[in-house]
């Protein structure tokens, strides 16, 4: 054989060709060539298809000492079983049983071989058990007395037989499923009772000598109980054995818990389930099996899962029985569930969340359904027939004990690492957070069952915390405060609750009265308090007397060392954010203290100059975002400016300007210093520009609180904008985008649209040339978007501005767009975004300020930006696959042509032939499944109606336009077999048909072309 060459590759030459081939197949030797491996594979495959292949493989399995050879032989036989004759399979069964009887008891085979042998036996059972081999299981059971090896084989066969043949969880063909049902029926009739007896002997005989066999046997019982007769296992003898295995706390106890749970969870009518639970004395067995004093977390976790499963079964049974005719069984199910709670609470009270969270699913399900159990909770159901209910008094002890345990379990454990990115994906941390979320849901559901009890619990928890704070750990304090905060989410209207001085209002007063708590120095407590101040702070707006007593204390906690001056940066950041929210809640009450608050935090509002040499910033990081040591982050400082600004706007109109100027004095003064110190600024342009950017950003943040209604502040804002324009002029064209000055100025301009209203147009006239000095694609995209927002905001009032600056507003980004590369998908996307921004600007300007655009577009070659706008609008029509540019361009053309309709010379000056060619070409080929396509269709119809309007152009010009339209249709619809649709379109246009009819005929043209040409 050619395989003999394998001997040259390190394979023993004393072997025959078959063994050498097997060694080649399994060898990892890189020197063996693919050709030799292929030869070896083909040689072995030829053995598989031989008529006596199975016999050859079995004989070599018996003869060889090589693991690879024996494994390959056992692997080769099962796939061939179906093709063997009944006599051959009978012969193979005899050989396998003989080996099991004579060899297996004393030979310890490798695990892979034991699995393959079990697979072979299971395969023979699948084919012959229900027909020619009814003794298949009996033959196997008769060998169990030969010792542990045969017991192990017996259990492996049953496990594999379940996976390969009888399990309903494995997807199977209809034929295999039918065969599975036949085999199950035959097993129930002939072998299940004996199989169960064997299981019992294994459970009671091998605890000490072979505990792994007990483990495996319990697994087998758990998978077979799904379909065998329940009473074969659900009896006193069997349950005593399983309970004993649990109570022994041995290596098989965890599996015994799963087995017991599986038996109890078997599907059956609810009435029979309750009878089984009662007759088998499950609660008494649990009392003897559960290890209340054990420290084995793994075992306790398994026991908790078992109790959880039993609880779910009992709960489901009660849900079914409470609307049945048998009130006694329903009562029994409820009593069982209620008594099981002692076990549930034992595990739920565990200090290890890995144990406590095992009973959380049952508790969650219980509290999802318990509201409907309580008397009067479901009157409609009561009217429909017999129904068992429970009183609220019966449920209250369960609710209270659950609440008491939740407040313990929801506290973060000592090992939990907060805000550490190294633990964000840690399974233990993720699991605890999920557990905490589940407990929160249970907590909220308890309020739905008994709101009064929930409020009483919260009040008691806050009172105990305030009285015994010194003996409570910080994370336990956090847990109490967290649950108090979450209670506010349950109340439908927190404001109304606080105004009426409800229970949560009383608890808030208790909390702020506790000075030690308000001044706590632990970060978690400080963060929790900030959340509570904002959640319930509106109480100060309803009850002025409370603000007089406690408002100062809360404000001090915000602006002091428990808040924005805390040691922990997490507290600082959160406090700045929450302070802004708190101030807005109680603005009227805090406004009189604005001056004091400003003075208290003025040092934190400073925007310091930092030399650029101290800021080694990467290109993509803006200098306005750099954190300066000893100062607040820009975002945090912004929240403080925002908070103070919200207080300023609450001042009387006559005081607004002066107070605003005081607030802006710092950042505005920086801008003045930069302009006044020209020599200094020129020595460090990036440093001073960055300082200006941070100062302007602070000013923009302050402006968020103001609007055009605050007319008295207009002079102050105009002064600021004048300073900003001069600063931009000073640094224009000298700095890269990373400095952040340009973006800060654009941010302020966006705000001034809202703050100055129409008066901003004059300021913008000064700023525009400086803003458009940038050549950065991202900047120009943002600026073009801002320009279209200005047009949308001020409508026709922007005509003069556009007429003056359209060459800058359009040409600068257009020139950059023309130079942008398209070498990658990312570059293509960036170019597309800028083009869409430009086209959207042209669309909005066309719809609101058409004269400004038409003036440039009709000026001919003397106006470059007008010609480039025409070019851009035509380019936007060119790609049928990009619907955004297509929609913007078609909308712009529709608006421009409608505006130009009153002037025939204007129409004749526009490139109508090109417009029609591109528009119709793309309109026919666009994706009509996209909702934008219908909008494009509407705009196209509008364009056609405008250009063919006979009332606005001479007959000669109209005829030329119609000829251009016909040529455009011919070009757009190549291969169209019937010109009926295009003719209907031309007729509709000549008859000045409604826009809807033109749109319909346009769509018919596209549909018929697609039908004829497969477009």
Tens digit of pLDDT for each residue in 610-663?
888 876 554 444 445 555 555 789 999 999 999 999 999 999 999 999 999 999
Q: Say what the pLDDT of residue 5 is.
A: 40
CA–CA separation, 125 vs 33, rounded Å? 41
Of 502, 503, 516, 505, the closest CA to residue 467 belongs to 516
The percent of residues in the chain predicted with pLDDT above 70, rounded, is: 95
Model pTM? 0.80
Q: What is the rounded average pLDDT of the residues 701-727? A: 95
Q: Say what the pLDDT of residue 12 is.
A: 38
Q: What is the DSSP string of 179-193?
A: HHHHHHHHHHHHTHH
Q: What is the DSSP string of 86-125?
A: HHHHHHHHHHHHHHHHHTGGG----HHHHHHHHHHHHHHH
> Would you call 390 helix, strand, or coil by DSSP?
strand
Task: Specify whether the CB–CB gap between 368 and 445 falls below 8 A.
Answer: yes
Q: Say what the pLDDT of residue 567 is.
A: 93
Q: Say what the pLDDT of residue 130 is.
A: 86
Q: From the centroid of its chain, how far is CA 601?
A: 39
Q: Which residues contact 559 (CB under 8 A, 6 or more apart)?
A: 565, 579, 597, 600, 601
Q: What is the DSSP string of 108-171?
A: ---HHHHHHHHHHHHHHHHHHTTTT-TTHHHHHHTTGGG-HHHHHHHHHHHHHHIIIII-TTS-
> Would you call 653 helix, strand, or coil by DSSP?
helix
Q: Say what the pLDDT of residue 631 is.
A: 75
Q: Answer whether residue 107 shows pLDDT above 70.
A: yes
Q: Answer whether residue 433 shows pLDDT above 90.
A: yes
Q: Say what the pLDDT of residue 380 is.
A: 47
Of 915, 848, 912, 907, the closest CA to residue 876 belongs to 915
> Would you call 647 helix, strand, or coil by DSSP?
helix
Burial of 954 (0-12, 13-18, 19+ CB in 10 A): exposed
Q: Answer whether residue 426 shows pLDDT above 70.
A: yes
pLDDT confidence tier of residue 389, bands split at 50, 70 and 90: confident
CA–CA separation, 706 vs 656, rounded Å? 10
Q: What is the DSSP string of 9-44?
A: GT--TTS-HHHHHHHHHH---TTS-HHHHHHHHHHH
pLDDT confidence tier of residue 298, bands split at 50, 70 and 90: very high
Task: Specify whether the CB–CB gap between 850 and 803 falls below 8 A.
Answer: no
Q: Which 3-state string (H, E, C) describes 794-831?
A: HHHHHHHHHHHHHHHHHHHHHHHHHHCCCCCHHHHHHH
Q: Say what the pLDDT of residue 744 is.
A: 93
pLDDT averaged over the chain? 91
Q: What is the rounded average pLDDT of the residues 897-925? A: 89
CA–CA separation, 660 vs 683, rounded Å? 32
Lowest mean pLDDT among 372-386, 414-428, 680-694, 886-900: 372-386
Q: Which residues contact 956 (CB under 8 A, 6 or more apart)?
A: none
CA–CA separation, 772 vs 815, rounded Å? 12
**Measured CA angle at 254 (ends 252, 259), to 5 deg:** 90
Residues linked to residue 374 through DSSP beta bridges, in sequence order: 390
CA–CA separation, 642 vs 875, rounded Å? 44
> Would you call 374 helix, strand, or coil by DSSP?
strand
Q: DSSP character for 902? A: T
Burial of 630 (0-12, 13-18, 19+ CB in 10 A): exposed
Of 247, 266, 243, the closest CA to residue 316 belongs to 266
Task: Specify whether the CB–CB gap between 840 and 787 falls below 8 A.
Answer: no
The H or E element spanning position 658 is: helix 653-676
Of 733, 765, 763, the closest CA to residue 751 belongs to 763
Tens digit of pLDDT for each residue in 965-984?
999 999 999 988 888 989 99
Q: Which whole-number Å values give the CA distances from 566 to 37, 200, 416, 522, in the listed order? A: 71, 66, 22, 10
The residue with greater pLDDT, 373 or 460, is 460
Q: Say what the pLDDT of residue 615 is.
A: 66
CA–CA separation, 63 vs 16, rounded Å? 13
Tens digit of pLDDT for each residue in 54-77?
999 999 999 999 999 999 999 999
pLDDT confidence tier of residue 938, bands split at 50, 70 and 90: very high
Q: Answer whether residue 198 shows pLDDT above 80.
A: yes
Q: DSSP character for 266? A: S
Q: DSSP character for 1? A: -
Q: What is the DSSP string of 551-605?
A: IHHHHHHHHSTTTTT-SSHHHHHHHHHHHHHHHHHTHHHHGGGHHHHHHHHGGGG
Task: Specify whether the CB–CB gap between 73 and 82 falls below 8 A.
Answer: no
CA–CA separation, 883 vs 872, rounded Å? 15
CA–CA separation, 54 vs 50, rounded Å? 8
Q: Left, alpha or beta for 757 (phi > 0: left; psi -120 to 50: alpha)?
A: left
Q: Answer whether residue 8 shows pLDDT above 70.
A: no
Q: What is the rounded average pLDDT of the residues 774-790? A: 92
The residue with greater pLDDT, 509 or 322, is 509
Of 151, 148, 169, the closest CA to residue 223 belongs to 169
Q: Which residues contact 728 (CB under 8 A, 6 or more apart)?
A: 741, 742, 745, 767, 770, 771
Angle formed by the axes of helices 912-925 and 864-875, nearest 10°? 20
CA–CA separation, 508 vs 537, rounded Å? 9
Residues linked to residue 390 through DSSP beta bridges, in sequence order: 374
CA–CA separation, 535 vs 515, rounded Å? 19
Within 10 A of 930 (CB to CB), how many other CB atoms are there?
12
CA–CA separation, 824 vs 883, rounded Å? 21
Q: From the centroid of its chain, how far is CA 783?
A: 33
Q: Answer whether residue 204 shows pLDDT above 70.
A: yes
Q: Say what the pLDDT of residue 601 is.
A: 94
Q: Left, alpha or beta for 996 (phi > 0: left; psi -120 to 50: alpha)?
A: alpha
Q: What is the rounded average pLDDT of the residues 588-597? A: 94
Q: Which whole-number Å values give the CA distances from 924 to 37, 258, 1003, in the listed order? A: 58, 65, 8
Of 237, 255, 236, 238, the closest CA to residue 246 belongs to 255
pLDDT confidence tier of residue 332, bands split at 50, 70 and 90: very high
Within 10 A of 732 (CB to CB), how many other CB atoms are there?
16
Q: DSSP character for 740? A: -
Task: Specify whether the CB–CB gap between 394 and 445 falls below 8 A.
Answer: no
Torsion, CA 927, CA 931, CA 935, CA 937, rounded to 10: 30
Q: Answer whether residue 263 shows pLDDT above 60.
A: yes
Tens digit of pLDDT for each residue in 810-832?
999 999 999 999 989 999 999 99
CA–CA separation, 177 vs 58, rounded Å? 30
pLDDT confidence tier of residue 713, bands split at 50, 70 and 90: very high
Q: What is the rounded average pLDDT of the residues 455-463? A: 96
Q: Which whole-number Å values give the CA distances from 343 to 282, 300, 333, 712, 883, in the listed order? A: 12, 11, 16, 70, 64
Tens digit of pLDDT for each residue in 507-536?
999 999 999 999 999 999 999 999 999 999
Lowest mean pLDDT among 197-211, 664-678, 710-724: 664-678
Q: What is the rounded average pLDDT of the residues 588-602? A: 94
The residue with greater pLDDT, 7 or 110, is 110
Q: Say what the pLDDT of residue 907 is.
A: 84
Q: What is the rounded average pLDDT of the residues 721-734? A: 89
Specify the length of the chain in residues: 1015
Q: DSSP character for 550? A: I
């Amino acid at each position: 054989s050619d395989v003999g060459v394998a001997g040259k590759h390190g394979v023993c030459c004393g072997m025959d060709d078959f063994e050498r081939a097997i060694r080649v197949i399994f060898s990892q030797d890189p020197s063996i060539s693919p050709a030799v491996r292929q030869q070896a594979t083909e040689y072995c495959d030829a053995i598989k298809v031989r008529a006596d292949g199975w016999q050859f493989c079995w004989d070599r399995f018996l003869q060889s000492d090589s693991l690879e050879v024996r494994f390959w032989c056992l692997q080769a036989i099962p796939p061939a079983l179906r093709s063997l004759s009944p006599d051959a399979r009978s012969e193979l069964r005899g050989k396998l049983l003989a080996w099991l009887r004579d060899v297996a008891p004393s030979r310890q085979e490798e695990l892979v071989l034991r699995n393959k042998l079990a697979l072979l036996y299971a395969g023979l059972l699948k084919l012959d058990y229900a027909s020619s081999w009814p003794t298949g299981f009996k033959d196997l059971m008769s060998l169990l007395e030969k010792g542990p090896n045969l017991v192990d084989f017996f259990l492996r066969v049953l496990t594999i037989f379940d996976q390969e043949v009888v399990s309903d969880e494995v997807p199977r063909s209809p034929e295999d499923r039918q065969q599975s049902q036949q085999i199950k029926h035959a097993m129930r009739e002939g072998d299940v009772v004996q199989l169960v007896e064997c299981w019992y002997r294994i459970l009671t005989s091998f605890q000490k000598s072979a505990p792994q066999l007990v483990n495996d046997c319990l697994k087998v019982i758990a998978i077979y109980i799904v379909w065998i007769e329940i009473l074969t296992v659900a009896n006193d003898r069997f349950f005593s054995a399983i309970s004993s295995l649990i109570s022994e706390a041995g290596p098989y106890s965890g599996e015994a818990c799963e087995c017991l749970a599986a038996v109890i969870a078997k599907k059956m009518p609810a009435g029979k389930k309750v009878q089984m639970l009662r007759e088998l004395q499950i609660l008494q067995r649990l009392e003897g099996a559960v290890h209340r004093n054990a420290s084995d977390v793994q075992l306790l976790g398994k026991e908790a899962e078992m109790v959880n499963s039993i609880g779910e079964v009992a709960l489901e049974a009660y849900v079914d029985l409470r609307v049945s005719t048998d009130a006694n069984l329903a009562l029994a199910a409820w009593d069982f569930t209620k008594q099981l709670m002692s076990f549930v609470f034992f595990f739920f009270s565990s200090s290890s969340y890995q144990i406590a969270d095992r009973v959380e699913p049952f508790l969650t399900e219980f509290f999802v359904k318990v509201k409907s159990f309580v008397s009067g909770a479901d009157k409609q159901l009561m009217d429909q027939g017999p129904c068992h209910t429970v009183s609220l008094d019966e449920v209250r002890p369960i609710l209270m004990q659950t609440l008491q345990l939740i407040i313990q379990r929801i506290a973060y454990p000592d090992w939990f690492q907060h805000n550490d990115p190294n633990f964000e994906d840690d399974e233990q941390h993720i699991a605890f957070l999920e557990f905490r979320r589940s407990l929160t849901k249970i907590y909220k559901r308890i309020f739905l069952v008994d709101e009064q009890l929930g409020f009483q619990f919260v009040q008691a928890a806050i009172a105990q915390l305030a009285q015994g704070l010194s003996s409570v750990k910080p994370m336990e304090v956090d847990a109490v405060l967290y649950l108090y905060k979450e209670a506010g989410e349950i109340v439908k209207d927190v404001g109304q609750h606080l105004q009426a001085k409800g229970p949560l209002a009383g608890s808030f007063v208790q909390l702020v009265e506790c000075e030690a708590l308000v001044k706590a120095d632990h970060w978690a407590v400080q963060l929790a308090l900030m959340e509570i101040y904002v959640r319930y702070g509106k109480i100060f707006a309803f009850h002025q007397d409370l603000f007089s007593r406690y408002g100062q204390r809360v404000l001090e906690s915000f602006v002091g060392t428990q808040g924005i001056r805390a040691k922990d940066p997490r507290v600082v950041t959160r406090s700045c954010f929450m302070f802004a929210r708190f101030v807005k809640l109680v603005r009227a009450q805090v406004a009189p203290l604005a001056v004091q608050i400003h003075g208290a935090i003025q040092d934190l509002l400073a925007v310091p100059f930092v030399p650029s040499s101290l800021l080694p910033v990467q290109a993509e990081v803006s200098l306005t975002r750099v954190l300066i040591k000893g100062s607040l982050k820009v975002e945090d400082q912004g929240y403080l400016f925002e908070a103070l600004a919200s207080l300023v706007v609450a001042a009387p109109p006559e005081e607004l300007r002066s107070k605003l100027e005081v607030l802006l004095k710092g950042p505005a003064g920086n801008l003045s210093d930069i302009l006044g110190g020209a020599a200094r600024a020129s020595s460090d342009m990036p440093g001073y520009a960055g300082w200006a950017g941070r100062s302007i950003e602070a000013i923009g943040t302050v402006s968020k609180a103001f609007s055009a209604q605050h007319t008295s502040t207009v002079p102050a804002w105009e002064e600021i904008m004048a300073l900003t324009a001069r600063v931009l002029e000073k640094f224009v064209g000298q700095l890269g985008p990373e400095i952040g000055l340009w973006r800060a100025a654009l941010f302020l301009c966006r705000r001034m649209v809202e703050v100055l209203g129409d008066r901003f147009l004059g300021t913008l006239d000064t700023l525009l040339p400086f803003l458009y000095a940038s050549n950065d694609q991202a900047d120009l995209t943002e600026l073009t978007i801002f320009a279209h927002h200005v047009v949308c905001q001020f409508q026709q009032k922007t005509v003069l501005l556009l007429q003056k600056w359209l060459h800058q507003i359009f040409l600068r980004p257009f020139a950059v767009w023309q130079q942008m590369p398209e070498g990658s998908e990312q570059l293509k996307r960036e170019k597309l975004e800028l083009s869409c921004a430009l086209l959207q600007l042209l669309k909005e300007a066309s719809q609101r300020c058409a004269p400004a655009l038409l003036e440039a577009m009709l000026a001919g070659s003397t106006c470059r930006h007008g010609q480039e706008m025409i070019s851009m609008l035509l380019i936007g029509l060119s790609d049928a696959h990009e619907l955004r540019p297509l929609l913007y361009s078609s909308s712009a053309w529709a608006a421009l042509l409608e505006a130009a309709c009153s002037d025939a010379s204007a129409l004749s000056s526009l490139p109508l032939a090109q417009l029609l060619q591109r528009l119709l070409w793309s309109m026919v080929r666009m994706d009509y499944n996209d909702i934008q396509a219908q909008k494009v269709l509407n705009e196209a119809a509008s364009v056609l109606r405008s250009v063919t309007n006979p009332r606005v152009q001479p007959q000669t010009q109209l005829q030329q336009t119609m000829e251009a339209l016909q040529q455009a249709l011919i070009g757009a619809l190549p291969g169209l077999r019937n010109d009926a649709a295009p003719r209907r379109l031309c007729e509709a246009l000549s008859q000045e048909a409604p826009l809807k009819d033109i749109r319909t005929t346009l769509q018919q043209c596209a549909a018929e072309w697609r039908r004829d040409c497969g477009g």
